[in-house]
Each structure stands twice: as C-alpha cells, then as structure tokens.
Amino acid sequence: QLRRVPVEVGDLFLFTTDGVHEYVSDQALIAAIQAHPDHLDRAAREIATRALHAGSPDNVSCQIMRFDALPQTDAQGWFDQLTEKPFPPELDPGMRIDGYRIIRALYASARSQVYLAVDEDSGVQVVIKTPSVNYQDDPVYLDLFTHEEWVGKRLHSPHVLRVIEPSRPRQFLYTVSEYIAGETLRQWMHGHPQPDLHRVRDLVGQIARGLMAFHRLEMIHQDLKPENILIDADGTARIIDFGSTKIAGVEEITSPIQRLTLLGTRLYTAPEYLLGEPCSSRSDLFSLAVITYELLTGHLPYGEHYDETTIRRLTYTPARQWVPDLPLWVDWALEKALKRNPELRQAELSEFLHDLTEPNPAFVTARRPPILARDPVATWRGLFIISALGNLALLFLISRL
C-alpha cells in the first residue's frame, strides 16, 4: 500500500510489524519514544523487548524515523540548494582548489571548463569539470550539472568514466573524475576512416556493455554520440558525460525546475524523442546503431536532414550501398535497430550484438532481397554486359541495312 502525507521538520514516524503493535499498547509505544527522544534506537529496542515480554510469537520489528531537515519545495528553495556552493574562478596552471593542483586546461566551451589536475594527497591525476559562469543564474543548467555527478557515482563499469567522490570538503561547485589519456571516438574515426568489421564489433560491444550499466539501474543515457565516448591507448571504450541521463522515477518527482525532454544530439537521437513519445532503453540502442552504421560506412543512416519534420518520411539507406562487401545479415541487423518504431527494434542490447556477430535466421526467412541488394556489383556488371551486347546487336543490324 502507498500513502502520501505531508511532513514537517521534527515529525516522527513509527513503523512496526503486527508482532509489535498487537502486543504493545499505543501508550507504551509513545512512552518509550518520549523516554529516549535523542536515542531512537534505544526506544526501538525497548519497544521490541516489551513485545517479546508480552509473549509475541511473531516477527518483532520496529523502526523509528525522525525528520531533522527537509528540502524547500518552492522554486527559490531548489535554486538555493543548487547554488549553495559558489562557482570556482577561472583556473590557471599551478592554482590550487580544495587540495587539487591544476596542471592544464583540457577543454573549454560555453557550458563548462575541464582541467587536468593532481590530487596533492595521493599524487593521482584527475579531471576537474567546472560550470560556466554564463549559467550562474540558470537553475536548469545547475540541475543538469549536479545531476551528472549523482549519476556517475552510481555507475560501476570498466566502460563508463568513473566519477570520484572528493575526500576533502568542497568550497566550490565542480565534479571530479578519473583521468583517461586517450581520444574521443570522433577523433578515433578521423584516424581510422575504414575500420574492419571485427574492430567495429569490438568497439560497439564495449560501448554496449557501458550502456548496460545504465540500464541495469533503470537509467537511459539519452546523449550517446562519438563525442561522448573516450578511447584509451589500449583501445578500451568508455562512455562519458552523464548530464542528459534519465533516471526512473526522477521525472515523476514534483519539481519547479522544468527538465528538458530533448537533451541529446539530434543526428544520434531516437525518433521517439523528436516526436515527443516515451523513451526507453531501445532509444539508447538506436543511438548505438547510428554510431555502428557510421563506423562501418562513414555516413549516417538517415543523412544530415534528420528532424521531427522529416523523420516520418525518411527511409533507411542500406549500409551495403556504401560498403558492398558488408555481410547482408549485418545490414539487416542495423536496419532493425534503426527502425522508427522502437517496438520493432531488438529488445535488448545483447540481442543487437548477437545479430552483428551471428546471422539471424529470422532475417533470412522474413524476406529475400532483390538481386541488386544481394550482390550490387554483379548486378551492375550483368546490366553492363547486357547493354553492351544490345548495342553490338544494334550496330550489326544497322550495318546490314
């Protein structure tokens, strides 16, 4: 059963099993709590002991909860919480912030600054991300910035960037994560314009395992793209940037801060976002399939003109149009993962990975492709030969006239 009741600071809630409240009177329960107002664990033990002495043969469980503080529920209260710590100043090499020494700037944009730093206690290199002063009065931006750290602390996967909990109190608003020497997948793609199918499967498998860490916790990344994937010197892929992540239940919480619904990059965003429809783990699958298609072909499956006004009219461009020697069943696996209707995609990331590795018999029985799709090179060669023979025959007839 679920009940919703208003609470105030100082309110006490007493939870007991029937093995307690059927053997201890309400007056005795209240007396035990009043006898130990500052030691509620003692009060709980005393209540349980009274139930046992009264002959309770059932489960004897008792929990007492007191609300010492509550969040403010108005918009100003939310904003005050988010801005409790000031923005850090612009950081230069050699500057120190809460025990971290700045080595150099790694990246800067209108939304944030990223620095390489060293923890002076441990000597470990870390990455510090600071918010941009351009958004100091923007509660939506601050909500997303703090949201990213909350998400990162709960994810544990070798294919997800690790967020670090600072061991010292923070005087400013910033986040700390592990430092990985490497390049983004976008940079990797520029250096490897035609990776083989085996390498693509390996990378996509790693990214998928990172996404699975989100999905196990009922989270959806929502902004998967090559710029948000890091490849280290050993070839290990890690998902970074969690600011757009959707957490099950969070959107149902009443908040004066209006969270954005479309946070991802449009070209990699699933159609359901653009159409205002519910998203799911299959939305992340769509984004991963776009990346897979781009890795294999150097192109996007729906081109550059992909938005809410055109999505209903777009048709899938077979990957074999760009890579004729790509196995047909791999192309079918991509086409299924890139369906506009999420219900027609693979149900799980693991199913998509399997379809990329092993021919799915369902694809073969569902349809037999035209000759042009099965072997475009041979088809065009045959058409050329037929055309040439036809021209020769025509010349022969003309010469006889």
63 and 82 in a single domain? The answer is: no
pLDDT at 166: 85
Are 104 and 25 in a shared domain?
A: no
User: Is the domain of 28 the same as that of 49?
Assistant: yes
Q: Is there a domain that residue 399 lies in?
A: no
Q: Per-residue confidence at 256, pLDDT binned at 50, 70, 90?
A: very low
- Of the candidates 222, 255, 102, the one whose C-alpha atom is nearest the C-alpha of residue 174 is 102
Mark which of 178, 196, 226 sits at the end of a domain: 178
Summarised one tens digit per residue, pLDDT across range 18-59 is 999 999 999 999 999 999 988 899 999 999 999 999 999 888
Indicate which CATH number applies to the domain containing 317: 1.10.510.10
- Identify whether the C-beta of residue 295 lies closer than 8 Å to the C-beta of residue 350: no
pLDDT of residue 283: 95
The mean pLDDT value of the chain amounts to 86
Work out the pLDDT band at 205, boundaries 50, 70, 90: very high
Strand partners, 238: 230
Cα 384 to Cα 310, 379, 380: the distances in Å are 36, 9, 6
Contact 124, 118 (CB under 8 A): yes
Q: Are residues 224 and 94 in the same domain?
A: no
Give me the long-range contacts of 264-271 (CB less than 8 A, separation at least 24): 264/222, 264/223, 264/224, 264/225, 265/223, 265/225, 265/227, 266/306, 266/307, 267/225, 267/300, 267/304, 267/306, 268/223, 268/224, 268/225, 270/342, 271/311, 271/340
**What is the tally of structural domains in the chain?**
3
Q: How far is residue 186 CA from its own chain's centroid?
A: 18
Same domain for 162 and 187? no
Catalytic option among 119, 143, 223, 241: 223
Q: Is 143 a catalytic residue?
A: no
401 in a domain, yes or no? Answer: no
Share of the chain above pLDDT 70, in %: 87
Name the band, by pLDDT with cuts 50, 70 and 90, for residue 379: confident
Does 295 lie in the same domain as 171?
Answer: no
Cβ neighbour number for residue 175 with a 10 Å cutoff: 23
Q: How many angstroms separate the Cα of 266 from the Cα of each of 188, 291, 302, 305, 338? A: 21, 13, 11, 10, 14
pTM (predicted TM-score)? 0.70
Whole-number Å distance between alpha carbons of 263 and 143: 13
Place of tokens 């730093």: 117
First to last CA, the chain: 96
**What average pLDDT score do residues 4-27 get?**
88
Residue 390 lies in a domain: no
- Whether 66 contacts 10, CB under 8 Å: yes
Per-residue pLDDT tens over the stretch 135-185: 888 887 887 888 888 888 889 999 999 999 888 888 999 999 999 999 999
Examine the domain organization and report whether 305 and 351 are in the same domain.
Answer: yes
| Cβ pair 262, 273 in contact under 8 A | yes
Give the residue from 121, 147, 178 where a domain finishes. 178
Does one domain contain both 194 and 224? Answer: yes
| Structural domain that includes position 25 | 11-67
Among 25, 48, 67, the domain-final residue is 67
Domain co-membership, 188 together with 296: yes
Residue 165, in any domain of the structure: yes
In a domain, 167, yes or no: yes
* Domain contains 381: no
Q: Is residue 48 part of a domain?
A: yes
Per-residue pLDDT for 113 more than 50? yes
Indicate whether 196 and 329 sit together in one domain.
yes
Q: Are residues 131 and 195 in the same domain?
A: no
Residue 390: is its pLDDT beyond 80? Answer: no
Residue 373 in any domain: the answer is no
pLDDT, greater one: 310 or 93: 93
pLDDT for 307-358, tens place per residue? 777 777 788 999 999 999 999 999 999 999 999 999 999 999 999 999 999 9
Q: Same domain, yes or no, for 362 and 219?
A: yes
